[in-house]
Amino acid sequence: MSTLKVNTIQNTSAAHSSTPEEIAQGRAKSWINFNGSGTVAIRDSFNVSSLTDNGTGNYTVSFSTAMANTNYAPLTTGHIFDDQNPENVRDMGAIDLATGSYRYCAGYTTGSLQDAENCFGVVFGD
């Protein structure tokens, strides 16, 4: 196996370049697409070892390879189907950041949690 060590990576026209640090810090370290309603299950993922259903609208996403610290940036979104009240505002968020996992919560902005059919999370950082 060979190792390539460089200070800058550049495209062939020299129009765009990146440092190894920019690539390491700027790419997603983890992502998940899961069903959070009924039988909770991962549809697809990267660097996710497991998904735990902690109760209504509350899930724990665990990493296959831990983050270096808890200062990473988890971005979460999703969809809660509610044809009876489509104007209800929903909130998806990550809390309790740990090096090996984070908690994903879905629900109304009033504070009550609700299961979500489509949940998505992406993590940037170390």
Average pLDDT over residues 1-23: 80
Query: Quick one: pLDDT at residue 91?
Result: 75
Residue at 22 is within a domain: no
pLDDT digits (tens, 9 = 90+) for 49-101: 999 999 999 999 999 999 999 999 999 988 776 665 655 556 788 889 999 99
Query: Quick one: pLDDT at residue 2?
Result: 86
Contacts of 125 (CB under 8 A, 6+ apart): 25, 29, 67, 69, 71, 72, 73
Number of domains in the chain: 1
The Cα–Cα gap between 89 and 19 comes to 41
Closest CA relative to residue 67, chosen from 99, 38, 36, 43 = 99
Residue 32 sits in a domain whose CATH number is 2.60.40
Q: How confident is the model at residue 122 (pLDDT cuts 50, 70, 90)?
A: very high
Which residue segment(s) compose the domain that 79 sits in? Answer: 28-124
Residue at 5 is within a domain: no
Residue at 4 is within a domain: no
Taking the mean position of all CA atoms in its chain, how far away is CA 106? Answer: 13
Residue at 18 is within a domain: no
**Residue pair 8/103 in contact by the 8 Å Cβ criterion:** no
Residue 115 has pLDDT above 90, yes or no: no
Average pLDDT over residues 1-26: 79
pTM, two decimal places: 0.81
Residue at 84 is within a domain: yes
Residue at 59 is within a domain: yes
3-state secondary structure of 48: strand
Tell me the backbone φ, ψ of residue 8, rounded to 5 degrees.
Answer: -145, 140
pLDDT digits (tens, 9 = 90+) for 22-59: 777 778 999 999 999 899 999 999 999 999 999 999 99
The Cα–Cα gap between 69 and 74 comes to 13
Residue at 93 is within a domain: yes
